Amino acid sequence: MTQNDKIVVGLDIGTTKICALVGRKNEYGKLEILGLGKAVSEGVVRGMVSNIDKTVEAIRKAIRQAEEQSGIDIKVVNVGIAGQHIKSLQHNGSITRTSLDSEITVEDVNRLTNDMYRLVTPPGSEIIHVMPQDYKVDYEDGIMDPVGMSGVRLEGNFHIITAQSNAVNNITKCITRAGLEIDQLILEPLASCMSVLSEEEREAGVALIDIGGGTTDLAIFKDNIIRHTAVLPFGGNIITSDIKQGCMVMQNQAEQLKVRFGKAIADEASDNEIVSIPGLRDRTPKEISLKNLAFIIEARMEEIVELVYSEIVRSGYANQLAAGVVITGGGAQLQNLVQLVEYLTGLDARIGYPNEHLGKSKIDSVKSPMFATTVGLVLAGYQALDERVNRYTEMTNSPDTRVVNEVKPVQKASSGGGFFNKIIERTKGMLIDDFDDKQQNY
């Protein structure tokens, strides 16, 4: 089964929307989007499931739309997880090998990594990702890839990400009730990284800021390795709430004001521009100054960016980010946000669009920053975040490595494979008929 035969589905369970994306690799190695399904998310608060039934219904609706658009029978999905409960820590582990003469193998590295999953975590939490930083063989440190070296003692520094067990269980319960299976559970900022960051940026040092509806996620890369992750419990929805209170309008009106007229820097807004909002029953329309609107948005955005920057400083990598900051997520579409981030952090900034890995698709809307996480979840079905994992997989071709786990989307999409086979067979039939007709004409 080749990469091009595989069909992968990403499911982003967000605070504002639940999104399902069906994709496969084309002959050029780019991701081709086959179907997109969206549903309003009413059962999720700040990245955590708060109402099982509403979330299940929204998942079913998004999956149904994606199935109708792609013609694929969806059974298995890659799911994103976020929320304030996400914690990260650094840990050092080691194993002692029995043979000095033999080379360090992929199995040795995997054994060391798997040992990290046995760490004792605080009650009610569990490890969802173990990401290697660097290794130490006997007395030699700073080794990125120890496979093939000789040594008795193998040590490794690991970045470990934990999540609340209840949050993981609730997501699992929602997916199961919707009639689906989970292939991989992936931290959302890591998924976003896969879709919007280039290899050069990850090498040079970059901070990804993913501004969603309920949370703002942070991931820091240096030397092509994930160094720090954090999830902050503030996002675009809190800005909408501020507008609702500050301008005394309805929630949906506040959201439209933010999306259509909002600016992150108040000085960029005109003093004279006024927007008229329809009044409630038998009441006169309400006039909103765009300058006041910008002041409300700027105050909250400043707070969010400063919280993110303090997290960057806490990571110890604030002075090592040559590639600066990449902003993505639905909140990245706010006007003048790049200028505000550059002003408050002193780092270069750009908006991250998930189009670097995308090929020609019928659905252009996925190139918006709000779909960065979902596109990343699909890409995770084809490649690992750490390139060393890809290399080790190719070296071993062991039946219990990532590659076999990725066979699930193929199984789930078997009817989809049949769908494409029918098209191919039908096309072949048409070509043969055309050829026969031409032969008769001659």
pLDDT at 99: 77
Q: Quick check: 32 and 56 in contact, CB under 8 A? A: no
Cβ within 8 Å of residue 319, ≥6 positions away: none
| CATH number for the domain that contains residue 98 | 3.30.1490.110
- Summarised one tens digit per residue, pLDDT across range 40-82 is 998 998 888 999 999 999 999 999 999 999 999 999 999 999 9
Rounded to an integer, the average pLDDT of 122-144 is 92
Tell whether 257 and 315 lie within a shared domain: yes
Residue that terminates a domain, selected from 326, 351, 376: 351
CA proximity to 164, closest of 122, 105, 118, 102? 122
pLDDT at 357: 85
Tell whether 71 and 96 lie within a shared domain: no
Distance CA 141, CA 364 (A): 47
Whether residue 441 has pLDDT greater than 60: no
DSSP, collapsed to helix, strand or coil, labels residue 87 as strand
Report the predicted TM-score, pTM, of the whole model to 2 decimal places.
0.84
Give residue 157's domain range: 87-163
Could you tell me the pLDDT band of residue 388, with boundaries at 50, 70 and 90? confident
Tell whether 157 and 115 lie within a shared domain: yes
Tell whether 329 and 267 lie within a shared domain: yes
Tell whether 243 and 122 lie within a shared domain: no
Angle between helices 236-247 and 251-261 (to 10 degrees): 110
**What's the total number of domains in the chain?**
3
Report the DSSP beta bridge partners of residue 12.
Answer: 19
- CA dihedral (243, 245, 250, 252) positive or negative: positive
Tell whether 231 and 298 lie within a shared domain: yes
Provide the mean pLDDT of the chain.
86
Whether residue 274 has pLDDT greater than 70: yes
Residue that terminates a domain, selected from 163, 180, 209: 163
Rounded to an integer, the average pLDDT of 328-338 is 95
Query: End-to-end CA distance of the chain, in Å?
Result: 41
Tell whether 243 and 338 lie within a shared domain: yes
Tell whether 233 and 370 lie within a shared domain: no
Tell whether 62 and 93 lie within a shared domain: no
pLDDT at 280: 80
pLDDT at 439: 43
Cβ within 8 Å of residue 258, ≥6 positions away: 236, 239, 240, 243, 293, 297, 334
Tell whether 25 and 172 lie within a shared domain: yes
Tell whether 384 and 429 lie within a shared domain: yes
Distance CA 222, CA 205 (A): 4
pLDDT at 396: 62
Tell whether 369 and 413 lie within a shared domain: yes
Low-confidence winner among 135-149, 171-185, 423-437 (lowest mean pLDDT) = 423-437
Residue that terminates a domain, selected from 295, 330, 351: 351
Q: Quick check: 306 and 330 in contact, CB under 8 A? A: no
Whether residue 406 has pLDDT greater than 90: no
DSSP state of 35: E
The values of phi and psi at residue 440, to 5°, are -65, -40
Q: Quick check: 35 and 408 in contact, CB under 8 A? A: no
DSSP state of 358: B
pLDDT at 435: 39
| CATH number for the domain that contains residue 432 | 3.30.420.40
Could you tell me the pLDDT band of residue 402, with boundaries at 50, 70 and 90? very low
pLDDT at 405: 27
